[in-house]
């Protein structure tokens, strides 16, 4: 994917920058570098973007239900359901890589974050540990989703700050 193909056009850099950011995180976490045109990568970026832009406003009925029964409120909260759907899609993608990593894991030579995590899971014998068994896999998927969100936000904030610093006159106006 090249910016040259969009030369002279008004474009949103959101998707283009986020593809590179998420791809860099993907390499660190799974050891796999994806082409920027990869449908898997585009799906992850799109899901994360939707998750970050998710706006939820509670109706009066939802507020009452949340007050009466917080557990029940998640079943009527559209924001929670969208949030859950997006995370389930991300977890499904991570699960594919998790299964692939399990098959070829060399515990003496971990090559990425997922290998290190799986190695620790293999060493854990305490059933109450978050690294143990099925709970360990669920923790790994949640950790990877958290790292994607945190990493994506950090890079975007860094880019925004850099852009602001490059335009000193603009920063003085903002002050």
Prediction pTM value: 0.67
78-100 in b/e burial notation, b at 16+ Cβ within 10 A?
A: eeeeebeebeebbbebbeebbee
Query: Taking the domains of the chain in order of start, what are their residue ranges?
Result: 14-174
pLDDT tens-digit series, residues 53-88: 766 666 666 666 666 766 766 666 666 777 777 778
Q: Which residue has the higher pLDDT, 139 or 79?
A: 139
- H or E element in which residue 144 lies: helix 133-166
User: What's the average model confidence in pLDDT over 161-167?
Assistant: 63
pLDDT tens-digit series, residues 40-49: 778 777 777 7
Q: Which of 146, 37, 42, 54 is nearest to 91 (CA)?
A: 146
pLDDT at 126: 94
Query: d(Cα 117, Cα 101) in Å, to the nearest integer?
Result: 11
pLDDT at 174: 47
Highest-confidence segment of 2-11, 31-40, 60-69, 133-142 = 133-142
User: What's the average model confidence in pLDDT over 149-169?
Assistant: 64
Q: Which residue has the higher pLDDT, 170 or 20?
A: 20
């Amino acid at each position: 994917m090249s910016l040259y193909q969009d030369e002279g056009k008004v474009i949103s850099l959101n998707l283009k920058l986020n593809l590179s950011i998420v791809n860099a995180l993907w390499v660190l976490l799974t050891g796999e570098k994806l082409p920027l045109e990869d449908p898997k990568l585009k799906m992850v970026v799109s899901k994360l973007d939707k998750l970050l832009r998710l706006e939820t406003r509670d109706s009066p009925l939802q507020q009452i239900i949340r007050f009466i029964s917080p557990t029940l409120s998640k079943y009527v909260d559209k924001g929670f359901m969208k949030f859950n759907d997006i995370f389930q899609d991300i977890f499904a993608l991570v699960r594919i890589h998790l299964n692939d990593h399990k098959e070829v894991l060399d515990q003496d030579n971990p090559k990425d974050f997922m290998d290190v995590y799986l190695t620790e899971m293999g060493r854990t014998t305490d059933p109450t540990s978050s690294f143990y068994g099925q709970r360990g896999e669920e923790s790994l998927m949640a950790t990877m989703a958290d790292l994607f969100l945190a990493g994506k936000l950090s890079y975007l904030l860094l880019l925004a700050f850099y852009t602001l610093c490059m335009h000193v006159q603009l920063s003085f106006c903002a002050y």
